[in-house]
């Protein structure tokens, strides 16, 4: 009996030593995250992990959900917290380690070339022009309370003007010029922008957006105003106290690899963060980065609530 007991104990120890590790990696991402089936398969084949993607709304919603669930994480890794929300997630202890920059994009005003040609109007040269009477009722922006491009544009205005009074003066003038405020970038671009049947030929979007608007004859369909934009950087990282730290680290390494980095321009219309990554040839003509940017050096986390309260007061009436 002693021999049998010892044998059973040995088998139990052996079984414990060879038990499979946790192979599931859960990635929390915003709704605009895109990865091809081929890249998912490549990651799973190369690493032995299975990937599950959990979509948590836009960037603000993603950040809020990760903060609210930090004591019981819903995922092992995240993608899509950007530099407008980074400080909040960091201060709340969401990150296990320093996140990695995966991509960047420049938040800029775009306009519909054909609309202005047909109207016989000169398009705006800068976002500062949007308060002019000529552009009354032509612009749609996004709410900074719910949209990261909206918050980026709000930060741009704080960097561009010397005082809060000037910032609020600009936003008040924009309101009085019948600007529309959409709840999300998707709503502003795909519902309100005139390129997609909406009523607004001027939209807050990205410097890379014109690459998706090339006409069949190869001519540009839209143009971005490349001065005084906001450089928005998106990060991916490991979530503190998550179930599969090792799997999350393997996923971040994969996202920094050449295959994933080369995919991001066409998949998500953003620029790869890893220097030297090849981008599509058309981007050289239709998706050039901003010529100047503003606001990235501001302490957005420290000022966010005050800025949003002031902005909301302007649009409350």
**67 confidence band (pLDDT: 50, 70, 90):** very high
pTM: 0.81
Cα–Cα distances (Å) from 267 to 36, 137, 207, 246, in that order, read 8, 32, 15, 26
Q: Mean pLDDT throughout 161-172?
A: 96
Tokens of 283: 């981007």
On whether the CB atoms of residues 292 and 229 are closer than 8 A, the answer is yes
Cite the beta strand spans of the chain per DSSP E.
24-29, 50-55, 77-82, 100-112, 139-142, 180-182, 202-206, 222-224, 230-238, 271-272
Residue intervals of the chain classified under CATH 3.40.190.10 are 22-104+232-279, 106-230+289-316
Task: Please name the fold of domain 22-104+232-279.
Answer: D-Maltodextrin-Binding Protein; domain 2 (3.40.190)
Q: Using CA atoms, how far apart are residues 7 and 211, in angstroms rounded to an integer?
A: 67
pLDDT of residue 296: 84
- 272 phi, psi to nearest 5 deg: -65, 140
Q: Using CA atoms, how far apart are residues 118 and 242, in angstroms rounded to an integer?
A: 55
**285 confidence band (pLDDT: 50, 70, 90):** confident
Which CATH architecture does the domain made up of 106-230+289-316 adopt? 3-Layer(aba) Sandwich (3.40)
**107 confidence band (pLDDT: 50, 70, 90):** very high
Q: Using CA atoms, how far apart are residues 199 and 181, in angstroms rounded to an integer?
A: 13
């Amino acid at each position: 009996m002693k021999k049998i007991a010892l044998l059973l104990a040995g088998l139990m120890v052996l079984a414990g030593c060879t038990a499979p590790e946790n192979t599931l990696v859960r990635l929390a991402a915003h709704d605009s995250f895109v990865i091809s089936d081929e890249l998912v398969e490549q990651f799973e084949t190369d690493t032995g992990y299975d990937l599950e993607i959990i979509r948590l709304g836009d960037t603000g919603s993603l950040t809020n959900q990760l903060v609210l669930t930090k004591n019981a994480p819903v995922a092992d890794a995240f993608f899509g917290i950007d530099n407008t929300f980074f400080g909040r997630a960091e201060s709340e202890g969401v990150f296990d380690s320093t996140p990695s920059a995966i991509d960047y994009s420049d938040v800029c005003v775009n306009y519909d070339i054909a609309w202005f040609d047909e109207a016989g109007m000169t398009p705006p040269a800068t976002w500062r022009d949007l308060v002019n009477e000529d552009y009354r009722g032509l612009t749609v922006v996004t709410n900074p309370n719910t949209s990261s491009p909206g918050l980026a544009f709000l930060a741009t205005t704080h960097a561009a003007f010397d005082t809060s009074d000037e910032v609020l003066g600009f936003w008040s003038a924009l309101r009085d010029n019948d600007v529309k405020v959409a709840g999300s970038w998707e709503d502003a671009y795909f519902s309100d922008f005139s390129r997609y049947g909406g009523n607004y030929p001027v939209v807050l979007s990205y410097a890379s957006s014109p690459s998706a608007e090339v006409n069949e004859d190869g001519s540009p369909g839209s143009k971005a105003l490349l001065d005084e934009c906001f450089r928005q950087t998106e990060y991916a990282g490991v979530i503190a106290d998550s179930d599969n730290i090792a799997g999350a680290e393997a996923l971040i390494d994969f996202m920094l690899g050449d295959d994933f980095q080369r995919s991001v321009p066409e998949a998500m219309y953003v620029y790869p963060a890893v220097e030297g990554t090849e981008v599509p040839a058309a981007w050289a003509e239709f998706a050039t980065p901003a010529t100047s940017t503003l606001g990235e050096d501001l302490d957005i986390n420290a000022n966010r609530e005050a800025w949003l309260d002031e902005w909301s007061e302007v649009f409350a009436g």
